[in-house]
Structures are given as structure tokens and as C-alpha cells.
Chain A
Amino acid sequence: MYGRVLGVAVVGVQGHLIRVEAHVGRGLPSLTVAGLPGAGIQDARERVRPAVESAGFTWPLRRVVINLSPAGARKEGPGFDLPIAMGVLAASAQVPGTHLSSYVFAGELSLKGELVPTPGILAVAIAAAAAGLAGVVVPLANAAEASLVDGLEVIGAPTLAEVVGFLRGSWRPEGIPSERTQEERVDGAAELDFADVRGQGMGRRALEVAAAGGHNALLIGPPGAGKTMLARRLPTILPALTRAEALEVTRLHSVAGLLTEGRLVRDRPFRAPHHTISAAGLLGGGSGFLRPGEASLAHHGVLFLDEVSEFRRDALEGLRQPLEDGRVVVTRALGSVEFPASFTLMAASNPCPCGFDGDPRRTCGCPPHRVQGYRQRLSGPLRDRVDIALTVPRLTRGELLGSTAGERSADIRGRVEAARERQRARLEGTPWTCNAQMSGPYARRHAGLTDAARTSLADAVEALALSGRGFDRALKVARTLADLEGAASVERQHVSEALVFRAPSHQEPPTVIGAGVG
């Protein structure tokens, strides 16, 4: 009395094909799961029997053993209810074995036998397609999500009874809404636009440059200056997601259980975690099922850290790795899990604990050592990875009234996409695709400075006490400014403008730069 069906264990965002074996043998009625099941799968034991019985099938009142193979790795995920149930039904000869080996089964069961929405189905579908299987059997609510994968038959079933009906040939799923019809609905969803922003020309400019070169940015300003308003609009000027990028983002959101209606995520994500977030919440982790953190949910989008100096030190320190490698590796006793996390970081901070340092109309009451400590907290772990810093003033009524409304996001995005294209062409043959990723030495050799630009940069290094790192950052931003303009070489005005966006000098000790500019 043996049955075998396929399931998928999701580790990180990666799906791994698992054979779910079921054996119904002699002995007192019991259900045992072997093969390193995680806590979520152990839990399934209690759900499967009521679900099977509610759906009108017979639970074999004998000793049932389930084995998850390969047995060596720990399996996690709530999607194992369905394959375990199907394994038992196959082992007790209640379903024919004809289709069993060509479909992957995934989904959580209710005690009534319904298939309820399950996180990570996209990862399951991708793994099934990669293994060359014919299709997946998933909860109806996840069918649209699974159908994002090309060349895969998706069986979306509302309950366990339909799954059995499908295998017996007595039930066919209805058509799933095609992706094309979804697309139209999504485009109207981007409601934020830079056209709504009055004043803040500097902020608009800084964000355009950040978007064009993939630079991380720091906004410093008093409460109410408009830092969050600006940051929220950064995704609207980033280049549209490619299909491959969109799938990656959707898979991450699917694993995190954040996918609603199973549609493809087409807007660049904007994640703004609260500053009380733990390191595990920001970077991914958790006990048992490893969940992607906010940094990964911001993959291909924007991670916005408001009040960045209030974040826990260990959480900020942990951001070094994704900022460096574009991924997070979470290591546990049983192995390590990798989540993609390539995002644009937008950090915002008050200038001092009270927020009014530098405001002409309010007096800052912070003792200087507290201001210094506050700024150091903000500068420490992120200092090397933030290319653009901008002080955002609280505008007076006069300044607001005197200013014109801004450009539309779509127009800015046009320039950003053109600049990105130029970077991609220029960086052909390097591991990088945008200016922010360039290494310092590479930038110094290949930025393409004119003589005048080089002279003015050298002057500024001295006059503004620029550190070596500050120098490299200015160089990269200047390159982006030239790319935005479509200029082949970096001119003097690009360097000047890039230096305006440099980090305030008190954030880093001045160091002497030895290397020449090539």
C-alpha cells in the first residue's frame, strides 16, 4: 500500500522538489511524518485526516507513514498538507496513479477540506517548471500567481474533492484570468507623482540622480520638511521592472505571503519599515520558516528608513551585506538561506534629536555632544554606501507659494531610463549595470573626466576636506549627472553639482587622498 506524489519545499525563495511517500501498513491507526519535517509540516498531521474525511474520502484506519525525500534536508512550509493528503489517498488506492508523477501538489488544507491561500506558490511553480513537470495543483486563490510561470499547466482547485476529481478525470478547472487583462488594471495604480510636489527642486533633482545612477541617498531635514513625501515618489521615476525582475519580486512577496490576488508585481516595491524593527525583520530570518526581511521585500525597489538614526544598531549593521552584494544570507544551524535584496536605500533623518538644527526660525535646544552622537549613529554603518546626501529645509509659506509645481514622474523616468541605458552600454563587460555599483578604482580610471573637471575636483577635495571615499562618491555621482545629460565625458559642472550632494563633512573624518585621478 504505497503512494508517491511530488511536493516542493521552499527554502528562502528557492523551491526544492520533494518526493512525498506514503505507506499504509499494519498497526494501530496513526500518522507519522519522517524526513526532517519542520514545525509547520508536523502540524499538518492534525489537519490532513479531518480534511480528507470532510471531503468525503476514507482515512485508512491503519498505521500511516509519510516520508519526505530526500530525507537529509529540513523542509518547511504550509504547502505540504495537499501532497501528504494525496499521498495517503494514493496509498489507499482512492485516486488513480496516472497523473501523480507529472504534477506538483501544494496547498494548505482546512479541516473542511478546502484549499486555502498559501504563501510561496510562485516559488513552487518555478521549481516545478524548472524540473520539467507538466503542471502544478494549487489552491484556486493561488492559481493566477502560479500561472505567471510560462509553460506550466495550472490546476487551481477550491477543495480537496476537486483535486481528486481532476485525477479521476471527472473535473476540469475553469480558465484562469490571463495576465494581459491584469496588466491594464495595474498601470492606473501608481497614484503618486512628482507633479504633486511644490518647491523642493533640490529634492526632486537629488532623487532623479539617485534613480538614474542607482545611488543610495540620505535626506536630512526637520520634521515636516517633506522627506517622506519625496522618498515615496522615488519608485515612480525608477525604470519599469523587466518581466524577469517582476517575477523575482513577485516570488519574494509570494514567499512572504504578501501577494494579494496573485497578480504580478509590476510597480517597484517601496518598503518603509518602522525604526523599531529587529534585525531579523529587516534582513530576513525567524525561527522555523525563514521569512524574507524588509530588505528583500524591497528587492528591485526602494527601502526607506525614516528616522534612520533611531534604528537598532545591529539592524543597520546587517544592511552592509545587501548593500554590498544585493543579497542577504541567513545562516542557521541547518544551513544557510539566501534572499535576493538589491534595493535603493533612502534614509531620512532629522538634523539633530529635536529636529530644528539649522532652521532659521526655530532654536535647536540639543546639547552639541548629543547632536554629534546622533549624527554618528546615522553615519556609521551606512556611510560608505550612501552617495547622495541632501538637506531638505522646511519651506516657509513664501517659498512654497513662490515655487512652481514639478515635472511629471513619467517625464523624469524617461530621462532616468535613457541614463541607465547609457550606463549599461558603457559598463558592458563589467559586473556592474549602474554607476553606483562601480568600484572606486574603476570609477577613478574610467569616469572620463575632462581636465577642467579634474582640476575643479582636486580643488574641492582640499577646500571641502573631502575624504577618499567622499571623492569616489562624488566621482560616481558626477558620472551619473553626465549620463543624465547624455554627455560623453564628465564636465566641470557635473563635478560641481555632484559635490553639492556630498555628505556633510562632519559625518566623516577628513582623510588625505593619495591616489591620482586617471
Chain B
Amino acid sequence: MRRPADLAREAPAPRTPRPESLPSWPHGFASSSADREALLILSGLATLTAGKLLELAVEHPTAAACLAAVRRGRSGSAGDRERAVATDPELVRSALRAADARMVAIGDPEYPESLLDLFDPPAVLFVRGRSLASLTPRVAIVGARNCSESGCDVATGLGLALARAGVGVVSGGARGIDSAAHRGALAGGGRSVCVLGCGIDLVYPASNRELIDDVATSGAVVSEYPPGIRAEPFRFPARNRIVAGLSRCVVVVEGAAGSGSMITADHALDLGREVFGVPGPVWSPLSQVPLELIREGATLIRGPDDLLQDLELAQVGLRDGTAPPDGVSEAARQAWDGLRAPTTPDALAEAIRISLSAALAALLELEVRGLVRSVGGRYERRVGDDDG
């Protein structure tokens, strides 16, 4: 049995090693204060993605030189050129201070080395909260925004189990699976890393403000973008590559075909990270991404215990939804046994041959105990909640 620390030390073996020919950040790209000031401006330019900046850096080996090149129009759109001239780095710096965030540039000790596996690692990260170096090892949990309630439970359970085992949870800041994973990690007393697709001072969606503040308190919130950059559709796929890059492996809980979960999983595979999939019913649209990944060779996990076992971490006692409950009435136990899949109360009553009234009473007993819940008129078992 390994300890989390061992897991952190072991460098993941990339399946497709990064070709030497790919451009990488020049040594000392962000060493001087002028360079750091230039990065504050460069990171806010919409068309100057990390990949573009990296190309530019081949000829202009420092950030300050790159900024000068952009101002001369060597790269980026006309609008960005104007912005590169007009932006006052002092304003960005004070906004950073106001957001209680800091800049971590390439070459800094805090800069996560695992990001260098990306073919376009960001030159700079903005971080709120703890040092990223202290939050290792890391495992990503990703999935659908409009997830099902049971999917949400699974993500919470995984977050909780990883947190208990001392593993940092990485996810985006979206609602659904992302939020559930963070909540689980926080509930487990652990730390999580939230990667934003907008400026470090903003929260998208705004309803997650409180959750993300909690994450920043116990773990860290990370973004490629300086304060004030608004969430836009194209920033989320870019954000997903950082989620994959920061993590040792990626767990996909739920995702509809063609969703961002698939993008994150693709990035993870490109980086040689192991991918885990939590299967769902074959007919559910939300099962399509995990099932497809499993078909392609991702590791199937049924719940936190499988994941911890595969990561060779000690297991923490979590209910997986198959163990029968203790201390409930006989009728409730029968009802629990009958709930193999989401079932309407009348179908359940018929299946276990009791009256509808008795079945309803049994279901309520289980519901009060937090063992089942009603979704859209059918009852289902709740999984992944803490027994203790």
C-alpha cells in the first residue's frame, strides 16, 4: 500500500512522451521584473493563447521581448495590439491584490511541473489560496454540468474519499459534477483545486461564489487569466487542458456525448494520464462519455473504493449503494432490496407484494434516513454518502 506522498513522488509515465522538437518556454523567460510586468499584460490578450505566445517566444526569449513584439504587431489581433499598448500593468497588479491572488510564472518554484507535459503550457497562472506545490498529489474529477442527482452523489463521494485519503481534488468551477466534487472534498476535510475559465477575480457561474471562496480558503483557485477577464465559451476547453495537466489522473463521472468532459479526457490521454470512468445506465444520455471512454480502454470504477484501490491508497469506509441499511424496519429493508433501479412506488409495492400504503411508509422511512430519494416520481438509492 502506497501513501499519498509516494504517489506524488512517482512521476507519471507519459504514454506519448512530449517530443523534444516542440517549443518549450525559454530558460529565464519570466525572470526579470520587466518580464513579469509584461506577463500581466500578455495573459489578458484574447488572441494570444499560450500556444501563440510560445511560438513567439522562440524568437523573443523573454516576456518583455514578446510584449514588445506584440506591440509592434508581430502576433495577435489588432485589438490585442492596442490593448497591449493601453493596459497599465499596475492596474492589473492592484486588481490581483484586491482579489487576494498572486501570479505564478513559468520558472517559479510554485509552477506545477506536471503542466509542462502540455504542448502549450501556460506561461503564467494566477492563484488564490494555498501553494500549488503543497497540494499534491492531485486527481481530477470532471463531468456534466446538468448531471443527475445520483451522478452528483457519486462525484461528492469520490471527492470525499480522495480528500480523506489525502489526495487533492482538481475540477472546474462549473455547477453539476464540478461543484459536487469540490463539495465532497471540502466535506472530507480535504483540499481541492478549482480551475476557472475566467479571470481569477471572477466566478462563473456566480451562484458558485461561496463554494469557490471555500475552495480558495482550504485549497487553491487557479486561472490562466488575469483579473477582469470574463468567462467565454472558448476559454473552457483551454481551462480543461489545465485540469488534465494539473492531475495525476482524471475521473469522468457523467457527460453527454460531445461535452466538455470528453475534451478533458482527451487532454488527459494526450498527456498520458490515466482515465477512469464511472459507468451509468446505457440508455441515459449522461452515461455516454464515461461509457465511450471505458470502451476505449479507460478504467471502470464503481465508486470511491475502486478508485482508491486502483490508486493503491487506503480505503475509507463509504457506502456504495449496494450494502443493505441497518436499523430499519423489515418493510423498509424489503423496499431497499426492491430498489435495484429507480422505481415508482406502485411498481415497487407490486414487486415486493405489499400494499402501496405500506410501500410509501417504507420509502419515507428510508428517505428520512437519507438512504433513498425521489427523482421525478421514481425512488432510487442514494450512494456515496458518508456512513460515519
CB pairs A–B below 8 angstroms (17 shown)? A201-B347, A201-B349, A201-B356, A202-B377, A360-B148, A360-B342, A360-B378, A361-B285, A363-B146, A363-B256, A363-B286, A403-B347, A460-B368, A463-B367, A464-B368, A496-B362, A497-B357
- Binary contact track B360-375/A, C-beta < 8 Å → 1, others 0: 1111110111100011
- Binary contact track A384-417/B, C-beta < 8 Å → 1, others 0: 0000001111010001001110000000000000
Please determine whether B344 and A460 come into contact, CB atoms closer than 8 angstroms.
no
Partner of A464, one of B146, B207, B367: B367
Please determine whether B146 and A364 come into contact, CB atoms closer than 8 angstroms.
yes
Contact A497-B360, Cβ < 8 Å, known A361-B283, A363-B286:
yes
Q: A199-B344, A496-B360 are in contact. List 4 more A-B contacts (CB 8 A).
A: A200-B346, A202-B344, A369-B207, A459-B368
A26 on the B face (CB < 8 A): no
Smallest distance from the beta carbon of B98 to chain A beta carbons, Å? Answer: 27
Please determine whether A358 and B375 come into contact, CB atoms closer than 8 angstroms.
yes
B266-293 contacts to A, CB under 8 A, are: 281, 283-286
Partner of B284, one of A222, A361, A404, A459: A361
Q: Which chain A positions have C-beta within 8 A of B361?
A: 492-493, 496-497
A15 on the B face (CB < 8 A): no
A221 on the B face (CB < 8 A): yes
Q: How far is the CA of A500 from the CA of B378 in the complex (A)?
A: 12
A140-154 contacts to B, CB under 8 A, are: none
Of all chain B residues, which has the CB nearest A358? B376
A461-478 contacts to B, CB under 8 A, are: 463-464
A180 on the B face (CB < 8 A): no
A440-483 contacts to B, CB under 8 A, are: 456, 459-460, 463-464, 481
Please determine whether A202 and B286 come into contact, CB atoms closer than 8 angstroms.
no
Of all chain A residues, which has the CB nearest B206? A369
Q: How far is the CA of A218 from the CA of B94 in the complex (A)?
A: 54
Please determine whether A500 and B376 come into contact, CB atoms closer than 8 angstroms.
no
A351 on the B face (CB < 8 A): yes
A368 on the B face (CB < 8 A): yes
Size of the B side of the interface (Cβ < 8 Å), in residues, is 36
Please determine whether B376 and A393 come into contact, CB atoms closer than 8 angstroms.
yes
Q: Which of B283, B365, B376 has the most CB of A within 10 A?
A: B376
Q: Which chain A positions have C-beta within 8 A of B376?
A: 221-222, 351, 357-360, 391, 393
Q: Which of B146, B148, B363 has the most CB of A within 10 A?
A: B146
Q: Which chain B positions have C-beta within 8 A of A362?
A: 285
- Binary contact track B173-184/A, C-beta < 8 Å → 1, others 0: 001000000000
Q: Identify the 9 closest CB pairs spanning chains A and B, nearest first.
A: A358-B376, A201-B346, A393-B377, A496-B361, A391-B377, A496-B364, A463-B368, A493-B361, A497-B360
Please determine whether A368 and B207 come into contact, CB atoms closer than 8 angstroms.
yes
Chain B contact residues, CB within 8 Å of chain A: 146, 148, 175, 205, 207, 256, 281, 283-286, 342, 344-347, 349-350, 356-358, 360-365, 367-370, 374-378
Q: Which chain A positions have C-beta within 8 A of B148?
A: 360
- Binary contact track A212-225/B, C-beta < 8 Å → 1, others 0: 00000000011001
Q: Which chain A positions have C-beta within 8 A of B350?
A: 402-404
Q: How far is the CA of A362 from the CA of B370 in the complex (A)?
A: 26
Q: How far is the CA of A55 from the CA of B205 in the complex (A)?
A: 78
Please determine whether A395 and B364 come into contact, CB atoms closer than 8 angstroms.
no
Of all chain B residues, which has the CB nearest A491? B361
Chain A contact residues, CB within 8 Å of chain B: 199-202, 205, 221-222, 225, 351, 357-365, 368-369, 390-393, 395, 399, 402-404, 456, 459-460, 463-464, 481, 492-493, 496-497, 499-500
Q: How far is the CA of A496 from the CA of B355 in the complex (A)?
A: 14
Contact A202-B285, Cβ < 8 Å, known A363-B146, A393-B376:
no
Q: Which chain B positions have C-beta within 8 A of A395?
A: 344
Q: Which chain A positions have C-beta within 8 A of B375?
A: 358, 360
Q: How far is the CA of A373 from the CA of B146 in the complex (A)?
A: 17
Q: How far is the CA of A392 from the CA of B349 in the complex (A)?
A: 16
Smallest distance from the beta carbon of A245 to chain B beta carbons, Å? Answer: 30
Q: How far is the CA of A497 from the CA of B357 in the complex (A)?
A: 6
Of all chain B residues, which has the CB nearest A357? B376
Smallest distance from the beta carbon of B388 to chain A beta carbons, Å? Answer: 18
Q: How far is the CA of A357 from the CA of B344 in the complex (A)?
A: 16
Contact A393-B344, Cβ < 8 Å, known A359-B376, A362-B285, A364-B146:
yes
Please determine whether A202 and B345 come into contact, CB atoms closer than 8 angstroms.
yes
Q: Which chain B positions have C-beta within 8 A of A499?
A: 364
Partner of B345, one of A201, A221, A361, A365: A201
Please determine whether A496 and B284 come into contact, CB atoms closer than 8 angstroms.
no
Q: Which chain B positions have C-beta within 8 A of A360?
A: 148, 281, 283-284, 342, 375-376, 378
Please determine whether B345 and A500 come into contact, CB atoms closer than 8 angstroms.
yes
Of all chain B residues, which has the CB nearest A493? B361
Q: Which chain A positions have C-beta within 8 A of B284?
A: 360-361
Of all chain A residues, which has the CB nearest B144? A363
Please determine whether A403 and B346 come into contact, CB atoms closer than 8 angstroms.
yes
Please determine whether A500 and B285 come into contact, CB atoms closer than 8 angstroms.
no
Smallest distance from the beta carbon of B86 to chain A beta carbons, Å? Answer: 35
Q: How far is the CA of A200 from the CA of B377 in the complex (A)?
A: 10
Smallest distance from the beta carbon of B152 to chain A beta carbons, Å? Answer: 12
Contact A497-B346, Cβ < 8 Å, known A358-B375, A391-B374, A463-B370:
no
Of all chain A residues, which has the CB nearest B367? A464
Q: Which chain B positions have C-beta within 8 A of A404?
A: 350
Smallest distance from the beta carbon of A474 to chain B beta carbons, Å? Answer: 10
Q: How far is the CA of A142 from the CA of B160 in the complex (A)?
A: 75
Partner of A463, one of B175, B281, B342, B369: B369
Contact A500-B344, Cβ < 8 Å, known A365-B146, A391-B377:
no
Please determine whether A205 and B347 come into contact, CB atoms closer than 8 angstroms.
no
Partner of A202, one of B256, B346, B368, B370: B346
Please determine whether B347 and A402 come into contact, CB atoms closer than 8 angstroms.
yes
Q: Which chain A positions have C-beta within 8 A of B146?
A: 363-365
Contact A363-B345, Cβ < 8 Å, known A459-B368, A463-B370:
no
Contact A460-B364, Cβ < 8 Å, known A358-B377, A360-B342, A403-B347:
yes
Contact A393-B378, Cβ < 8 Å, known A497-B357, A499-B364, A500-B360:
yes
Of all chain B residues, which has the CB nearest A402? B347
Of all chain A residues, which has the CB nearest B341? A360
Of all chain B residues, which has the CB nearest A201? B346
Q: How far is the CA of A359 from the CA of B45 in the complex (A)?
A: 42
